[in-house]
Amino acid sequence: MLRSIVETGAVVSEVPCGTAPTKWRFLSRNRLIAATSHATVVVEAGWRSGSLNTAGHAAALGRPLGAVPGPVTSAASAGCHRLLREYDARCVTTAAEIRELWDAGAAEGPRREAPVDPEQGRLLDAMSSRVPMPLLELTRRSGLDPDRVSALLGLLELDGVARREEGGWRKVGSAERRG
Tens of pLDDT, residues 85-99: 888 899 999 999 988
What 3 state SS string does 46-113 have? Answer: CCCCHHHHHHHHHHHCCCCEEECCCCCCCHHHHHHHHHHHHCCCEECCCHHHHHHHHHHHHHHCCCCC
The dotted CATH code for 118-173 is 1.10.10.10
The top-level CATH class assigned to 25-108 is alpha beta
Separation in Å, CA 83 to CA 20, 28, 54, 60, 78: 31, 20, 12, 13, 9
Q: What's the pLDDT tens digit per position in 63-88?
A: 899 999 999 999 999 999 999 988 88
More confident residue, 92 or 111: 92
46-52 average pLDDT score: 87
Q: Per-domain residue ranges for the chain?
A: 25-108, 118-173
What pTM does this model have? Answer: 0.56
| Residues forming beta bridges with residue 162, ordered by sequence position | 171
Contact 60, 87 (CB under 8 A): no
Decide which of 178 and 162 is more confident.
162
User: What pLDDT was estimated at residue 179?
Assistant: 54
So what's the pLDDT on residue 176? 65
Instruction: Check if 25-108 and 118-173 are the same fold.
Output: no
